[in-house]
A and B are shown apart, each in its own frame.
Chain A
Amino acid sequence: MSPPLEHDYIGLSELPFSAAAAAAGAAEDGALNLKETELRLGLPGSESPDRKEKVGLTLGLLPKVFGSGAKRGFSDAIDGAGKWELASGGCGSEVEGGKGGALFSPRGEDGGGQLSGHGNAGKDVAPKADGQERKAAGQVGNSAGNDRGVAPAAKAQVVGWPPIRSYRKNTMATNPSKDKEDADEKQGPGCLYIKVSMDGAPYLRKVDLKAYNNYKELSSALEKMFSCFTIGQCGSHGIPGRDGLSESRLTDLLNGSEYVLTYEDKDGDWMLVGDVPWEMFTNSCKRMRIMKGSDAIGLAPRAMEKCKNRIRISF
């Protein structure tokens, strides 16, 4: 896939729909192979429909990375992330970036049809996401009823929509109604915002763990969110100045300093991210911290090795 880099630097909105679909198709094969190697329940070869949908949703993020072999650790995820970003023209660095690939998937029937004929791909992007997401949501099940028979949004796929602030979404998530006690246990709250801090960065960010399906997506999204802090010195305002940002400089810095992603679990212990299966992680993670590798050594040196090995297998 040869992305039109020079023209597409600013946004994905100009990427023609057909090209996007082709890109999606090309990536899908590679992505499927990966999914097969991932540890999960179920008989090998039995791809459930919603599983396929999920793959579709993450198309934009996977291609180049796995073509060049599995990587390990936070800095390596960034290497990979750099490459995939060029390939897919993924969307911005917002929290829900994990679902960015959804924007290239074929749009759903409901609602999207009214917009055909408008040549503006930028505007089409959002309803495509809705369509795709609606299909996925319909199969995965949803926490909010919809009496119109249209599969509603289980969680927001379109960045920043609906316009509800993240702290409120968390509040909603922690207040399940009594009616839903017999609902599918695995469903859980619709979103789960967790604070992420980075050593040396002036800002805390929040990520929605429910927006990602695996560690790779999470680390990619975090890289995008925090990459601005790893470049150069911060000005007196704590905001980094404009540097001639380049991919190689970013990876140099990160490889040199070896940032490691850690999290605090329910018991208050700080663990390395990646030690436990994804679902267990999302259920027990209370907050995350990106710390320098040198600080993390005290955590669990052998676990770090174990962690790297495990990531190589499961990704």
Chain B
Amino acid sequence: MVGGFRWAAMFPDEVWEHVFSFLPADADRNAAALVCRAWYRIEQRSRWRVFVGNCYAVEPAAAVRRFPEVRAAAIKGKPHFADFNLVPSDWGGGAEAWVEAMAEGWPHLEELRLKRMVVSDDCLELIARCFKNFKVLSLVSCEGFSTAGLAAIAANCRNLRELNLHENEVEDNCLHWMSHFPESFTSLVTLNIACLEGEVNVYVLERLIGRCPNLKTLRLNHSVPIQRLVGLLHRAPQLVDLGTGKFAAQHHPELFSTLESAIAGCKNLKSLSGFWEAGPTYLPAIYSVMDLIEDDGLIAVAASCKLLQELRVFPSDPYGAAQPISLTEHGLVAISAGCPMLHSVLYFCRQMTNSALLTVAKNCPNFTCFRLCIMEPHTPDYITRQPLDAGFSAIVESCKHLRRLSLSGLLTDLVFKSIGASANCLEMLSVAFAGDGDAGLHYILSGCKNLRKLEIRDCPFGDQPLLDNAAKLETMRSLWMSSCSVTLGACRQLARKMPLLNVEVINERKRGLPLELQPDNCPVEKLYIYRTVAGPRSDTPSCVWILR
């Protein structure tokens, strides 16, 4: 047995590195690293991509030490419900600690993707200065920075390929940030500035695009008028993904025809978005490329339907639904019938029936993501007045590869029983205004063997299922519960029992006795529990307590 692992030394390290490069998932690489010290060392040195799903799960310095040769990092900060104002604005998720550690330990970093983090201009300047070969900056749902920070990126990242700013809150204090891209800069492949609220210097943009022959993705913000779109498209006929700016103007036949031909001239166009304020006047200009469009989100945007937000990733060819997306179940059923390749849906509506959901479940067993939001909480099947348990149960039973599910409408504990039993691939579950009592949560925590993220609001779930399933929480990334029936005592117990969990109790009103003096039966308004090897974090604001 002692000599059993000498075979590892039969091959040079580089061979093992090459072998490991075929391992598809980090989990597989982790397993390989456990085989012997040699493999641990080799795998460690050859891992160049890390994903940190929760920025507080590990100390930045520890991550950098563990994998010293990382070239691409993706880090996520705030819980998802921060998108809907449920998380206090000062909760945390600051990127500084990570950027500083990375600047220190990963000087060769090329790609950085941050989501729901607070990124300051200082961070951006540090990135611009310290990573000499920086290629990809992707900021999604972040805040805390301004266009001055973007100017630093533009000025210093000579090899930048991708600047993806998606749904960020950006302060506009530097109007000419894009002018900071030097004339010698030609490497851009992706530019997404759709979330910027300020004016964009289209002349500068034209020059930039004109000298970047590899540009594939261009997503403009609302300030770019339709008239200037033509000039931009002429300079980038190789575009694959276009997000327009404002798509409305007075009707002008000449403008219409030049726009139409400019768009048709982009022979590789596969994806369209944007269309701010789109109206019937100019939309027909894009019809010529509709055959090629795979992102049917275009239609939803084009229909300017108020409450339906987006249908994500429709990789079907002909768009099957004849009618525009409506707020009823009919649109969803029509889509499910007409788009057999559909695998991801985010659908807002006002009414739903179990029958419709059963039909959808039958039509689309390939769903990986099903998010249904019935606008009014507790809405039952509007025809039978029954809870929607049967409908959602059908979804989870039929869609064996479902990874993400959001529930809505009137739901009892029964739906959770189905989910717990059937949703074996489910990784993320969002629950609001549902269930009857503790049993509902218990079904989820005792089933759903691949559950990673669970977020719950306004449900009658209490202490018992948490305490009974404490070990489950360590197998998950995080649990969010707000406006439920959890008490402080249970949180204290959980924190004592599970040292590898951070149990964060959030109280925003900042009044009354300090946490230590509150009795066990005190209700907890917001609770965020996540596994971590870093212990309690040191940047908690005054409204957050980490129980030990």
* A interface, CB within 8 angstroms of B: 5-14, 85-86, 89-90, 92-96, 111-112, 114-115, 118, 120, 122-123, 125-127, 130, 144, 146, 148, 150, 152-153, 158-168, 171-172, 174-175, 177, 195, 197, 202-206, 224-225, 227-229, 231, 235-240, 242-243, 245, 247
- Cβ of A10 and Cβ of B488 under 8 Å apart? yes
**B158-177 interface code vs A (CB 8 A; 1 in, 0 out):** 00000000010101000000
Known A-B contacts A6-B513, A162-B348, A206-B169; the reply to A153 vs B525 at CB < 8 A is no
B433 touches which one: A93, A126, A165, A237 (CB < 8 A)?
A126
**A151–B143 Cα gap in the complex (Å)?**
36
Give CA–CA (A144, B306) in the complex, Å.
9
Do A238 and B85 form a contact, CB below 8 Å, given A9-B513, A9-B518? no
- List A contacts of B483 (CB < 8 A): 11, 13, 122-123, 125-126
Q: Is the interface of B mostly helix, strand, loop or mixed?
A: loop
| Chain A residue contacts of B307, Cβ below 8 A | 144, 162, 164, 172
Which among B81, B483, B508 has the greatest number of chain A C-beta atoms within 10 A?
B483
**CB-defined contacts of B118 to chain A, threshold 8 Å:** 202-203, 237-239
- Does B90 contact A9, Cβ atoms closer than 8 Å? no
Interface size on B, residues (CB 8 A): 73
Q: Given that A126-B458, A160-B85, A237-B539 are known contacts, is A6 also in contact with B512, CB under 8 Å in the complex?
A: yes
Assess the A11–B507 pair: CB atoms within 8 A.
yes
B21 at the interface (CB under 8 A from A): no
Contact in complex: B277, A126 (CB < 8 Å): no
**B460 near A123: Cβ-Cβ < 8 Å:** yes
- The verdict on B519 contacting chain A, using a C-beta distance below 8 Å, is yes
From B83, B143, B509, B540, residue with most partner A Cβ within 10 Å: B509
**A96 to B84 alpha-carbon distance, docked (Å):** 11
| Contact indicator A171/B376 (Cβ below 8 Å) | no
CB atoms of B378 and A122 under 8 A apart? no
Cross-chain contact B507 with A9 (CB below 8 angstroms): yes
**B351: Cβ under 8 A from any A Cβ:** yes
Residues of B within 8 A of A127 (CB): 377-378, 433
- The reply to whether A237 and B377 contact each other, CB–CB distance below 8 Å, is no
**A158, B94: Cβ atoms closer than 8 Å:** no
Provide the main secondary structure of the chain A interface.
Answer: loop
Given contacts A7-B519, A171-B276, contact A123 B512 (CB under 8 A): no
Contact A120 B460 (CB under 8 A): yes
Give the complex CA separation of A89 and B525 in angstroms: 12
| Interface residue? B375 (CB, 8 A) | yes
Contact B523 A118 (CB under 8 A): no
Interface contact A94-B120, CB-CB below 8 Å: no
Contact at B508–A202, with CB atoms within 8 Å? no
Among the listed A7, A123, A205, A227, which residue makes an inter-chain contact with B485, where contact means beta carbons less than 8 Å apart?
A123
Does B432 count as interface, using CB distance less than 8 angstroms? yes
| B97 is an interface residue with CB less than 8 A from chain A | yes
Contact with A along B434-477 (1 / 0, CB 8 A): 00110000000000000000000111101000000000000000
Q: How would residues 227 to 238 of chain B score, 1 for a CB under 8 Å from any chain A CB and 0 otherwise?
A: 000000000000
List 30 interface pairs A-B (beta carbons < 8 Å), by A numbering.
A7-B518, A7-B519, A10-B509, A86-B511, A92-B88, A93-B88, A111-B376, A111-B377, A114-B410, A122-B484, A123-B433, A123-B459, A123-B484, A126-B433, A126-B483, A144-B306, A159-B85, A160-B457, A162-B373, A164-B309, A167-B195, A195-B169, A202-B118, A203-B118, A228-B543, A236-B96, A237-B94, A237-B539, A239-B94, A247-B511
Chain B, range 491-508, C-beta contacts under 8 Å to A: 505, 507-508
Q: Contacts A158-B377, A160-B81, A161-B432 hold; do A242 and B304 have CB atoms under 8 A apart? A: no
Q: List residues of chain A with CB within 8 A of the CB of B519.
A: 7
By a CB distance below 8 angstroms, the chain A residues around B85 are 94-96, 159-160, 166
Are B484's CB and A153's CB within 8 A? Answer: no
In whole Å, how far is A72's beta carbon from the nearest beta carbon of chain B?
Answer: 24
| 337-354 of chain B: CB within 8 A of chain A | 348, 350-351
B23 interface contact, C-beta 8 A: no
Beyond the given pairs A95-B85, A237-B539, 7 more chain A to chain B contacts, judged by CB atoms under 8 angstroms and listed by A's residue number, are A9-B509, A93-B509, A160-B84, A162-B307, A239-B118, A240-B90, A240-B541
B6 at interface by CB-CB < 8 Å: no
Query: Which residues from A are CB-within-8-Å of B373?
Result: 162-163
Query: Is B144 at the interface (CB under 8 A from chain A)?
Result: yes
Report which of B144, B277, B437 forms a contact with A174, defined as CB distance below 8 A.
B277
Q: Are A163 and B83 in contact (CB under 8 A)?
A: yes
Q: Which residue of B lies closest to A197 (CB)?
A: B171
Q: Does B92 contact A (CB under 8 A)?
A: yes
In the bound assembly, the distance between CA atoms of A67 and B256 in angstroms comes to: 63
Q: How far is the CB of B464 from chain A (nearest CB, A)?
A: 13
For B375, the chain A residues whose CB sits under 8 A away are: 152-153, 162
The docked-state distance in angstroms from the alpha carbon of A236 to that of B540 is 13
Contacts of A85 in B (CB 8 A): 509, 511
Q: How far is the CB of A297 from chain B (nearest CB, A)?
A: 23
Closest Cβ–Cβ distance, residue A155 to chain B (whole Å) = 12
Chain B residues with CB under 8 Å of A224's CB are: 508
Within 8 Å CB of B509, what residues of A?
Answer: 9-11, 85, 89-90, 92-93
Whether A203 lies near B304 (C-beta < 8 A) is no
